[in-house]
Structure 1
Amino acid sequence: MKPVSFLCLLVVLLDSCSNPALIPEPAQGARIAATNCKMLNGQDRPYPCEFQLYTIYFMGQNNEVLATSTANSQVISLPKSKAISHTVNAYGGSLFYNVSVDFRRVNTPSFATSTYRLTRASITDPISPGETTVVDSTITVSPNLPNPMIRPNRVMFKLQLNYATSGGQSPALIAPIQLLMLENPVTYAKMTKPTYHHDRDRAEAWRTMQVSVNFTK
C-alpha cells in the first residue's frame, strides 16, 4: 500500500469514529408502544394502545404497601388486619383497601377525549357491559407524550372485597377483582361488537391478577 493511500484510509477511519452516523428518532405521533399492542387473537390492535400500566399498589390503613402487581396473573394476598375499614353482616362482610395504579402514555390518542375511565371486572375476559364496573370515569391525561424523566400518571381508588362465612368454615371471597382496564371511551365505542368481542381488546391498557385475603393475618 502506498503511503498516501494508507494516510487517506486512516483519516476516513478516524472521522467515522469521531462522527458516528445520527439515527433520527421517530416522530412523536408515530411512537411505538413499549410493549406490542396485540389483541387476544394475536392480531395488531387497529388503534395503538395509549398507555402502559406499571406498578399497582395495594395499601393498608396506614398507607403501607401490602402487595404490588407488576405483571399479569400475579397472586395478590392481602392481610385482613391491614384493611383500611371492615364491615360485617349476617352472611359475611366487606374489607376495604386503597389501590394506586401507575401508568404512562406511550402513544398519542387515536380519538380525542376529555376524560378516561378505569374499570374493573371479577373475571379476566369480560365480553358484556354487565361484567364490568366503572371505578373512575373522570381521569384526565394530557394527549402529549411525556418526557421519559417525568413520573408516571397515578389514579387511586378504594377496593371493596366482599366475603361470605358459612358454618364454621373459613371465609371465602365473593367475586374478587381479577382485571383492571384503562379505557378511552371514544376509542372503546369505535371498536364495536361483534367484531371486537373482548373488552380487553378495546382497552388502552389492562392488567389481570388473582386477589385473595389472608384471614389469619
Structure 2
Amino acid sequence: MDLLGALHAHRLVAIVRGDDPDAALKTVLTLVEEGVALVEVSLSGRDALTVINRARAALGPDAPLGAGTVLSADDARAAHGAGADFVVTPAVGDGVTAARELGLPVLAGVMTPTDILSALRLGAEALKIFPAAQAGGPAYLRALRGPFPGLPFVPVGGVDATAAAEYLAAGATAVGVGSPLIGDAADGGDLEALRARTRTFLDVVRTGVPAAEGPA
C-alpha cells in the first residue's frame, strides 16, 4: 500500500475505537460509504482484531485498512494477520520495526525532533504528531516544519473540524481524527449523526474550512 500517497490524496485518517465490536464494524463501513478512504481501527478497542478481520472481508482486498495503537512486535504481527495493510503507532518502538519487517507502511507517533529522527531511521512513512493539542497545536507544527520542511506530518489528538482546517493550513499532510468524528458510533450510537460529522470533516479536507464557515 502507498500510505504516503494516500495521505497526500485524502488528507484524513478516521480513528475507530469502541467497546462494541459490531458497532465498531458498522462505523468503519459507514465511514467508507461516506467517502473516507483511510480508516484505522485502534487495537485498544474491544475485539479490535476481529473488527479488522471482518472489515477486511466486507471491504475486499483493495480498500486501505489500518490498525492503530500498535505498540509491540506482537501487535504488528497480529494486525497483519487480521488483514491490516498499514499500522499507526502512538510512539516510536518495536511496533514500527516489526511492521516494516512485515512490509506494512507505518504512521509513527512522534512528539519531539528526536522522535522524528528515530522514526525515520526505522523506516516510518509518515509522522503522527501526538498528542497534537498538548504539543502546542498548529503553532508547534509550524515550528517543526522549520527544521523538517519536507516531512509528512499528521496531527492527531483533539482535532475537531476547526483545528483540522488550521493544521492543514499550517502544512499538515493529513489529520487523524477520533472522537470529534466518531462520537459514540463505535459504542452503538447514532450512525446518521456519524454520517453528518463525516461530511463536515470531508468538507474541511477538500476546501480547507468547515462547511458552516465556507461560502454558501
Q: TM-score range by the shorter chain?
A: under 0.3
With the length of structure 2 as denominator, give the TM-score of the two structures: 0.24
Structure with the larger strand share: 1
Higher gyration radius (CA): 1
If asked which structure has higher relative contact order (CA below 8 Å, sep 6+), I would say 1
Higher normalized helix content (fraction of residues): 2
